[in-house]
Amino acid sequence: MNVKDAIISTARWFVTGRSSLENPSTPLDPDYDSSWNGLNYHSRGSAGVRVTAERALGFHPVLRGIDLLSSTVGKLPLHRLRKVEGGTEHDTTHTTYFKLLNRPSAEMSALTWKKTMEAHRIMEGNGYTFCRRNGGAQITEFVLLDPTQTHPVRFNGELFYVTYTANGSPQFMSRTDVIHIKALSRNGLVGLPLWQVGNDSIGAGIATIEYGGRYFRNNAIPAIVIEVPEAMKDPAKVEALAKGWNKIHQGIENSHKTGVLTNGAKAHVLTATSNDAQLIEQKKFSIIEAANILGLPPHKLGDGSRTAYNSLEQENQSFLDDCLDWRLVDWEQELWDKVLTEKEKADDSHEIIFDRKQLLRADITAKGQYLSLAVGGPWMTVDEARRSEGMNDRPGEEGDVLYSPVTAAQTPDPSQANTDPNATPGTANAGVVTDITLNGAQVESARNVLLDVQLGHIADTAAIELLVGIGIERPRAEAMVAAQLKIPPPVVDPAAAPTPTVAPAAPAAKARQEMVDLVSHSCRRMADRIAKSAQRAGKKRAGFTDWIDSISDDHSAVIVAEFTPPLNACRAVCGVDIAPNDLARQLIGIASRDLGELADKATYSGLEGAVNEWATRFTGPSVEKLVGQLFTIQNEDQS
């Protein structure tokens, strides 16, 4: 027997459940179950339901979970990168670059290939792809293989793969030509199919659905016993009576029809217990079971329980860390082994990785704040930030400049401040808020304060108190404010229009109004935070009242931290003493009260629209009314 025949013979023994990696006469696995008859394996779980791959896919939480995981892997771009001095660059000149990114073969897109491979791995335990090469050993296409017809075998200590084509003919392949991603495995070579290892849990879920179908098919009546007189002893008559009753009364369409029994027969209903009717609770438990098997958070499969995350970005980060990352790493290591050449691997000159950033897409406000800090941070140039948003580079070379951070020792001299009236607002002395001695929250707050100074929205004294309130020492705060560019008012031609005479505002009243504006600005920002969270909860509908109860726990700490600097400035500048905790409590209280009333009145389908309308009112008139009442009360107390 030649090598090819020996490999095929070994593979055939493996398919029938009687092969091993070395000896076809012994089982492949020490825990081998003789009830596994090759690919036709099936058994009844503890619920008494026979589970197969097809029936498992018919169980909707499993189908949803597999589709979610495989689709997420499929949509992430795969990049072949070349390592260069200072980082990496896309190796677009290599033949496999665009195959991995867009089109692995003539028959399918990259998304379909990755999604199907990952679905094979989850459901069947293994995903296989054959790397077809030309005479120069270059990969010309990636060919997806049927996981139920493909298996690893070992002959004379060397690992091969064998697959059976549609006409039943075997094809053997070298280990280096087969991309093989595996699920949980006993031996590290063959993954375990989900529908086998999750037999009991999946079977229980299928049984719940089947039970519910029968329950409602019988008009939600579990059973009826017809008592016949002793004289009716003919089995054929008894059977005819039972069939006639079922024909008239069984099924939803026959509910509430009048039944007639003759010859002394009596009907006795076996009523359902409370446990028999708890189908919804059992279905919820089945979703949680399926989520545990797939390693997914239950809300991803439709569970109505409240998620613990306050933003899509945090939710996706947890999903990536706990559910996806090990799958992506397995892909990357397998592609590194099978796609790169031996020289590329030995020189460590290339890598193949997923672009995980595609999953972690923040909302537009958070993305803008991140890019602002990144460019001024500095760890990103202006052009790099623009490219990340799909925009073209800036004209000239300024976009490639990486700004240097300014330390405390480099605090600009106020006398050196930029006084060019044509300078762009928000760009003067940008380094003053990139002090590496400040933390991220301080940098962001200081940047906003100094930008308001540049635009003339707040007075210098108020800005200094705000900076002190966020933890910056007063001399440093004074220097930062003094170094900012003040945008001059527009020049008006005296001959074009007369200059009106305006009485100067009283200094105390002006300072007080500036503080009102500062507090209003912070209140609007926090109201917008709560409103956006409410709109996300309103889209899901389920669990909306639970979300209302969680507003204080989820947002209180952030709101108090936001209110502290402007309220400290109010106390220092004009003597208005408002506690941050009290203001946060009032803002959250208004939101909770309004949304509670809204949830009682709105219909299930109209909840999302009602929340959107509320958000507009809450971030506008409600905030203005709250701030106005606070300062009115303070005025009365001071008088």
- Residue with the two structure tokens 């491979």: 117
Q: How far apart are CA 143 and CA 428, in angstroms?
A: 57
Helices then strands (H, E): number in the chain?
A: 23, 13
Tokens 């006639």 belong to 244
Q: Round to whole Å and give the CA distance between 12 and 31.
A: 20
Question: Among 559, 474, 564, 64, which Cα is nearest to 290's?
Answer: 64
Distance CA 243, CA 362 (A): 62
CA distance linking residue 256 with residue 241, whole number of Å: 19
Contact by Cβ (8 Å): 333, 314:
no
In which domain, by residue range, is 338 found? 59-187+306-361
- On whether the CB atoms of residues 349 and 83 are closer than 8 A, the answer is yes
First to last CA, the chain: 107
Same domain (yes/no): 462, 553: no
Contact by Cβ (8 Å): 56, 62: yes
Spatial strand order in the sheet of 126-133: 139-145, 126-133, 178-182
Beta strands 178-182 and 350-354, pairing class: unpaired
Instruction: Check whether residue 85 and residue 221 sit in a common domain.
Output: no
Q: Indicate the helix (H) or strand (E) that contains 82.
A: strand 78-84
Give the predicted TM-score (pTM) of the model: 0.52
Burial of 137: CB neighbours in 10 Å, binned 0-12, 13-18, 19+:
exposed
* CA 336 to mean position of chain CA atoms: 27
User: What is the DSSP pairing of strand 78-84 with strand 87-90?
Assistant: antiparallel
Asked if residue 473 and residue 371 are part of one domain, the reply reads yes
Q: Which of these three, 341, 361, 381, is where a domain ends?
A: 361
Pair 520, 630 in one domain? yes
Integer CA distances (angstroms), 574 to 446, 507, 513, 562, 567, in order: 21, 10, 10, 20, 10
| Alpha-carbon span 188 to 209, nearest angstrom | 35
Domain membership of residue 347 (yes or no) is: yes
pLDDT for res 435: 47
Q: Are residues 537 and 621 in the same domain?
A: yes
Task: Report the alpha-carbon distance of residue 352 to residue 344 in Å, rounded.
Answer: 11
Same domain, 98 and 216: no
Residues 583 and 566: their CA atoms lie apart, in Å, by 12
Looking at the structure, tell me whether residues 513 and 620 fall in a common domain.
yes
CATH number, residue 120: 3.40.140.120
Residues 255 and 335 in one domain: no
Tell me the DSSP string of 376-426: HTTSS-HHHHHHHTTPPPPSSSGGG--PPP--GGGPPPGGG----TTSPTT
| Same domain assignment for residues 237 and 322 | no
Please report whether residue 80 resides in a domain: yes
pLDDT in the model for residue 396: 72
Question: Is residue 39 domain-resident?
Answer: no
Residue 107 lies in a domain: yes
Point out which residues pair with 173 in neighbouring strands.
161
Kindly give the parts of the chain with pLDDT less than 50.
13-42, 222, 274, 406-436, 485-492, 496-506
The C-alpha atoms of residue 139 and residue 145 are separated, in whole angstroms, by: 16
Helix (H) or strand (E) holding 164, with range, is strand 158-164
Domains held by the chain: number: 4
The closest of 67, 117, 97 to 353, measured between CA atoms, is 97
State the CB neighbour count (10 A cutoff) for residue 421: 10
The count of residues in the chain is: 639
Is residue 264, in this structure, part of any structural domain at all?
yes
Q: Give the single-character DSSP code of 267.
A: E
Is the preceding omega at residue 378 within 30 degrees of 0, hence cis? yes
d(CA 365, CA 358): 17
Q: What is the pLDDT of residue 240?
A: 80
User: Alpha helix (H) ranges present in 492-579?
Assistant: 507-540, 544-549, 551-574
Distances (CA, A) of 70 to 125, 286, 300, 323: 13, 21, 13, 11
The answer to whether residue 329 sits within a structural domain is yes
Residue 227 phi/psi, 5-degree rounding, is -90, 120
**Same-domain check for residues 577 and 525:** yes
Q: Is the dihedral of CA 114, 118, 119, 125 positive or negative?
A: positive
Nearest to 524 by CA among 421, 409, 413, 623: 623
User: What's the Cα-to-Cα distance from 392 to each of 92, 195, 395, rounded to whole Å?
Assistant: 20, 49, 9
- Print burial letters for 31-47: b (CB count within 10 Å at least 16), e (below 16): eeeeeeeeeebeeebeb
Angle between helices 607-617 and 507-540 (to 10 degrees): 170
Of 448, 482, 516, the residue at which a domain comes to its end is 482
Q: Are 132 and 139 in contact (CB under 8 A)?
A: yes
295 assigned to some structural domain = no
Kindly list the distances between the CA atom of residue 601 and the CA atoms of 426, 615, 617, 619, in Å, as whole numbers in the listed order. 46, 16, 17, 21
Instruction: Retrieve residue 125's tokens.
Output: 């335990």
Torsion-angle region of 263 (φ positive above 0: left; ψ -120 to 50: alpha; else: beta): left
Residues 375 and 348 both lie in one domain? no
Task: Please say which residue of 277, 298, 320 terminates a domain.
Answer: 277
Is the domain of 355 the same as that of 382? no
**Residue 291 near residue 65, CB atoms below 8 Å:** yes
- CA distances to 84, 111, 134 from 94, rounded to whole Å, are 15, 20, 14
CB 534 within 8 A of CB 595: yes
Beta strands across the sheet bearing 350-354: 87-90, 78-84, 350-354
Residue 570 lies in a domain: yes
Give the C-alpha separation, 173 to 178, whole Å. Answer: 7
